Amino acid sequence: MSKLADTSRIQLKKWDLTDADDLSAIGNAVDRTFLSDRLPFPYTKEDADWWLNMIAEHEGKDGVFRAILLDDKIIGTISIEQKSGVYRKDAEIGYFLLTDNQSKGLMTEAVKQICEIAFSELDIIRITGLVYEPNIASQKVLKKNGFSLEGTMKNAVIKNGKVQDLCIYGKLKETDSMR
């Protein structure tokens, strides 16, 4: 088992258009076992440029998008994207971390930080995390950050040719009056 890292060394930084090469590199190096297929592979510089331009338009308006840094080196990405319509007070969290940095408490700290930012900056009252059922590590990260398992969608995902259940986690903004 990996040794826990000093989580005080974790920082979240806003992505910048000049980060395309770093984003492309981590996008190609990450373990895709539990990631959405929306993440292209190979992850080209053009893919990174598209993503960085898209988030530049949405940052702080209906999303919070951050690079995860350890000792000033980008090791992952994390975002919270606000939904629309009747779901506009909800946002979905997504993240990934390079394999060498997993199981050290780093993502738990990154999720803590981004949830604080999102509840502060976005007009939301909850954050939803969708996790493939076999992804125990991600479930633990969410639970450690106050997310509750709200339900499981049976046979909801096909990943790498396997049908999997999808766990739905939710975290509510702490307020005195929600309605």
For residues 61 and 68, give the distance between their C-alpha atoms in angstroms, rounded to a whole number.
20
Would you give the DSSP letter of residue 131? E
The full set of domain ranges for the chain reads 7-172
CATH number for region 7-172 = 3.40.630.30
Tens digits of residue pLDDT in 37-46: 999 999 999 9
For residues 51 and 41, give the distance between their C-alpha atoms in angstroms, rounded to a whole number.
14
For residues 173 and 168, give the distance between their C-alpha atoms in angstroms, rounded to a whole number.
17
Tens digits of residue pLDDT in 95-147: 999 989 988 999 999 999 999 999 999 999 999 999 999 999 999 999 999 99
State the number of CA atoms in the 13 A half-sphere of 156 facing the CB.
Answer: 14
